[in-house]
Amino acid sequence: MRPVKVGLLGLGTVGTGVVRIVEGHQEDLSSQVGSPIVIERIAVKSLYKERNIAVDAHKLTEDPWEVIRDPEIDVIVEVMGGIEHTKTYLLEALERGKHIVTANKDLMALHGSEILAKAQEKQCDVFYEASVAGGIPIIRTLIEGFSSDRITKIMGIVNGTTNYILTKMSQEGASYDDVLKEAQDLGYAEADPTSDVEGLDAARKMAILGTLGFRTDVELKDVGVRGISGVSKEDIAYAKQLGYELKLLGIAERQDDAVAISVQPTMVKQSHPIAAVNGVFNAVYVHGEAVGETMFYGAGAGEMPTATSVVADLVAVVKNLKLGVNGLKAIVPYKEKKLKSDDQISYKNFILLQVDDKAGVLAQITQVFAEYEVSLASVVQTPNEQNPGAEIMIVTHDASKASMDKVLQHFEGLQVIRRIKSVYRVEG
């Protein structure tokens, strides 16, 4: 029985996990797919790097093209990262009739449509479960589990680094800078944490989820992005006082075929399940018209959780290979993209204002909200011990983004307001 031969691009954290699972679970894998799965060639950065896994040196190469062009290889598993060079490798692999499994969210967010179109042309599989939320099978769920439903909202914690930071700030009252340094020391955050803390990593994942959930071509530029670097421990304390937790949420919504996708720090009602997702864990909440609310929770990164998703995709490719149905499951977006305007995007808001502590201030502020037809759910005014003024916490009812922008712009010129300290979306 001919084994299915795999070419592996990358032998870092996830690549090592893939080798461990494929070699360690060979009996289970063979029984599922009907033949052995063999990792035939592995492209690495250096042949001489010390590794914490034993690999046959004859399988290693520093040239990815040797793997791509090997006629014996059936499937390419890409876990090396990178965008432009990697896209070139994968398009050539597809041109040669090889199936693709990738964990590369950056590549799929930016060039996924092109890669999937090439896969469809060549009748090849491209699976990328591990590109979003590590070990949580959310992509397969969106494609298959919700195939008969119409998804109206996807909301998720899809970046473990930022969730770890916000969790520590919430539970220990620590400052952002202190927790970020701790996260870097523990290896949860990179030396340059920009992609994580400014929301770019989460935005790429939400572009993928939005594309799959709404069957339209969501591009990275369509995602509004705001990170957590401006979140203070005072903001978190105020949120808790009002019964909320602050989380960096990716939110994709659809109404009447118009979509809106964003990533931003959001106040989530403590009674909502997503508010209880802490540390480096991820969770994705999906609302379908038929099924209602569902939530998927698990490890969003790490060697074995991510590698498990990669190998699950590999098994799916091999099963398709045995059945002769490769390339039939590619989800190429088919709906015309319609983005919501600022008038159509609507949600609750939290605003924290530093104001003069004198009579009539609150009346002036509420008059501005009334002028732009924004109704208020709650208003709390407290003295500020650090300043001679006062602080006002306001939570609105649902209001359009356009109206809220006008309110905030008006506040900038209102003399009784010393500072607009914080503005957050509110969910739950």
Give the residue numbers marked as catalytic: 205
Burial of 319 (0-12, 13-18, 19+ CB in 10 A): middle
Could you tell me if 84 and 106 are in contact, meaning their C-beta atoms sit under 8 angstroms apart? no
Query: Dihedrals φ, ψ of 91, to 5°?
Result: -65, -40
Nearest to 77 by CA among 420, 86, 205, 122: 86
Token pair belonging to 195? 């992609």
Query: Which residues neighbour 336 within 8 Å (Cβ) at sequence distance 6 or greater?
Result: 216, 257
Could you tell me if 119 and 126 are in contact, meaning their C-beta atoms sit under 8 angstroms apart? yes
Burial of 51 (0-12, 13-18, 19+ CB in 10 A): middle
Token pair belonging to 331? 């989800």
Distance linking the first and last C-alpha atoms of the chain: 55
* Sign of the C-alpha dihedral computed for residues 402, 404, 405 and 407 taken in this order: positive
Query: Dihedrals φ, ψ of 367, to 5°?
Result: -65, -35
Nearest to 16 by CA among 94, 87, 77: 77
147 forms bridges with which residues in the sheet?
none
Q: At what angle do helices 13-24 and 303-323 cross, to 10 degrees?
A: 60
Query: Which residues neighbour 202 within 8 Å (Cβ) at sequence distance 6 or greater?
Result: 158, 159, 162, 225, 248, 250, 263
Which residue type occupies 273?
P
Could you tell me if 223 and 263 are in contact, meaning their C-beta atoms sit under 8 angstroms apart? yes
420 forms bridges with which residues in the sheet?
353
Query: Dihedrals φ, ψ of 413, to 5°?
Result: -100, 5
Query: Dihedrals φ, ψ of 188, to 5°?
Result: -75, -30
